Structure 1
Amino acid sequence: MQMEQLQKDMVAAMKARDKIRKETISTLVSAVKKLAIDEGCRDDIPEELVDRAILKELKTVKEQVDTCPDDRSELKAEYQTKYDIIKEYAPSMMSEEEVKAYLLKNFADVVATKNKGQIMKSVMAELKGKADGKVINQVVADLCQ
């Protein structure tokens, strides 16, 4: 996801007078800018950094949806709407089959050892932000059996 695209979408939401969408995208833009400042690349923000910030915000909003009491239905609906909007911008994660194929192609030598700890250590840094950690863990467990 490009930072410029987020900003264009925020302007479009402002013109459409879509308050919740504008606020949500504004939150994403702020999170990206904060992360960029923290990492010292404020002027030229790479896509990887934007994706990382979006995934972090997605996780935060998912926790809000999950922990919101059922008797606060209007608040829960607002959180769910925000989650759905952020989900549109989140990078797609690799499926279980894609992770398995990637591991067998790029990490065949490590997978051959059947040492789960060694495999996870080698693989996690490479797949961070591309696949869910639970999916990676499941695939590695299956390969080690």
Structure 2
Amino acid sequence: MQFETLQKDMIAAMKARDKVRKDAISTLVSAAKKAAIDEGCRDDIKEELVNRVILKEMKSVKEQIDTCPASREDLLAEYQTRYDIFAEYAPQMMSAEEVEAYITEKFADVAASKNKGQIMKAVMPELKGKADGSVINQVVQKLCQ
């Protein structure tokens, strides 16, 4: 996701007077700016950084949804709406089949060792932000059998 796209969508939400959407996108914009400042690239916010921030924010909202008491339906609805808006901007994750194909193609030598620790150590940095960790773990488990 391009940072400029987020900013344009936030402005569009403001013009449409859609407060919920504007607030959700505003959260992503501020988190991306903060992460960029922390990493020292305030003027040039990379797509990879924005994607990482979106996934982090989605995880935090998912935790809020999971820990919210069932009696607080208003909060639950608010969190779910925010999660859905974040999901629109989240990068598409690789499927298990895609992860397996990627590992067997790029890491054939390590995968041949059938050592789960070595495979995970080699694969995780490459697939971070591109595939869910649990999916990667399942695929590696399958390859080690």
TM normalised by structure 1 equals: 0.99
Q: Identity of paired residues, percent?
A: 75
Aligned to 2:19: 19
Distance in 2 of aligned mates of 1:63 and 1:118: 31
- CA deviation digits over 1:108-132, x for unaligned, max 9? 0000000000000000000000000
| 2:34 matches 1:31 | no
Distance 1:67 1:9 in 2: 29
Aligned to 1:52: 52
Residue identity opposite 2:22 in structure 1: K
Gaps of 5+ in 1: none
Residue 15 of structure 1: how far off its partner (Å): 0.5
1:85 CA drift (Å): 0.1
Structure 2: 5+ residue stretches without partners? none
Structure 2 Cα separation of the partners of residues 13 and 61 of structure 1: 20
Name the structure 1 match of 2:72.
Answer: 72
- Counterpart code for 1:133: G
Residue 86 of structure 1 deviates from its aligned partner by 0.2
Size of the aligned set, in residue pairs, is 145
1-side partners of 2:136 and 2:56: how far apart? 18
Alignment correspondent of 1:3: 3
CA distance, structure 1, for counterparts of residue 104 and residue 121 of structure 2: 15
CA shift, 1:29, in A, is 0.1
Partner of 2:115: 115
Tell me how far apart the structure 1 counterparts of residues 134 and 118 of structure 2 sit (CA, whole Å): 17
Instruction: Please give the TM-score of this superposition, normalised by the length of structure 2.
Output: 0.99
RMSD: 0.4
Q: Match for 1:110: what amino acid?
A: V
Determine the C-alpha separation between the residues in 1 that align with 2:91 and 2:4.
16
What is the CA–CA distance in structure 2 between the aligned matches of 1:95 and 1:67, rounded to whole Å?
Answer: 27
Summarize deviations over 1:55-109 as a string: whole Å, max 9, x none. 0001000111111100000110000000000000000100000000000000000
